């Protein structure tokens, strides 16, 4: 979310009202809400402006004692707030990636950028530059039609051609995209790109799991809500075609859901091996 300016993702497609109803659902079931990063779009909006214009939402999340793990788009929050005197009570719930035992299984909660080879030291500088340009045009024109969350991610990735891994991933990704582009809509091509990226990252999650770091990985980052076996789950995003989330039972069972105008709906997002 941004500061309620024209291209703020949370201001579009009725998401503010949907989020409000979703929070009602969480409270009704006495759930613990964990926000896995990219909650604030700090590459495009100043934090103080977001806090000022989203104070009502932050008040509610603070009352719910929501846990907030920053991602790559809002990782700067650690350097922007004073833990001793946070700018809003919501930030009392800010946390690094953490592990929690639920139903005899160790769950690792993280955004996911921690293992993404595209996100390195140079990423932040490129991200700030692109985000500042988008914010500048948005303020001047009161709109920024060329910039949304997908294009911002794509622009950021385009700035890292020096990464060795990118050259290896590009070959397999482009081959798949060429095969389907002639018969697939633009939206489906975007979704496929995210799926391929997620599949490459799963190998890194598995390496950590194999080293006994955790039993179940819970992440976001790639915006594709899905499950892989019974040990990897992606919580998806609220900035695309659907509003996704995960529900973890006290016994450690995980369900992938989407929030609709009619309430929660089960999703069948399964990643192929």
Q: Name the percent of the chain lying above pLDDT 90.
A: 42
Considering the chain, what is the average pLDDT of its residues? 78
Q: What is the pLDDT of residues 2-11, one digit of tens each?
A: 988 877 888 8
Rounded distance, CA 249 to CA 241, Å? Answer: 26
Rounded distance, CA 221 to CA 247, Å? Answer: 18
Task: State whether residue 228 is helix, strand or coil.
Answer: strand
Contact between 70 and 78 (Cβ < 8 Å): yes
Q: What average pLDDT does this structure show over 219-225?
A: 87
Residue 211 confidence (pLDDT) = 82
Query: Is the confidence at residue 236, as pLDDT, over 60?
Result: yes
Contact between 123 and 160 (Cβ < 8 Å): yes
Q: What average pLDDT does this structure show over 135-157?
A: 49
């Amino acid at each position: 979310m941004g500061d309620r300016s024209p291209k703020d993702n949370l201001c579009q497609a009725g998401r503010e009202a949907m989020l409000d109803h979703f929070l009602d659902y969480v409270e009704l079931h006495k759930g613990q809400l964990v926000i896995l990063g990219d909650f604030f779009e700090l590459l495009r909006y100043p934090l103080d402006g977001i806090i000022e214009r989203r104070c009502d939402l932050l008040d509610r999340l603070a009352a719910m004692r929501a846990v907030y793990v920053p991602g790559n788009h809002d990782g700067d929050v650690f350097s922007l707030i004073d833990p001793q005197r946070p700018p809003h009570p919501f930030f009392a719930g800010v946390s690094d990636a953490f592990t929690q035992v639920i139903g005899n299984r160790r769950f690792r909660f993280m955004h996911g950028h921690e293992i993404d080879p595209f996100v390195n030291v140079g990423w932040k500088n490129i991200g700030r530059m692109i985000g500042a340009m988008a914010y500048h045009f948005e303020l001047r024109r009161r709109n920024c039609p060329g910039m949304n969350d997908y294009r911002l991610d794509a622009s950021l990735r385009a700035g890292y051609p020096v990464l060795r891994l990118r050259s290896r991933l590009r070959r397999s990704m482009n081959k798949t995209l060429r095969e389907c582009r002639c018969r697939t809509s633009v939206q489906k091509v975007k979704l496929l790109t995210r799926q391929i990226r997620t599949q490459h990252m799963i190998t890194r999650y598995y390496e950590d799991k194999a080293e006994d770091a955790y039993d179940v990985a819970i992440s976001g980052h790639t915006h594709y809500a899905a499950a892989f076996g019974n040990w990897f789950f992606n919580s998806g995003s609220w900035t695309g075609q659907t509003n996704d989330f995960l529900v973890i039972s006290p016994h450690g069972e995980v369900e992938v859901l989407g929030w609709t105008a009619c309430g929660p709906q089960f999703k069948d997002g399964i990643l192929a091996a």
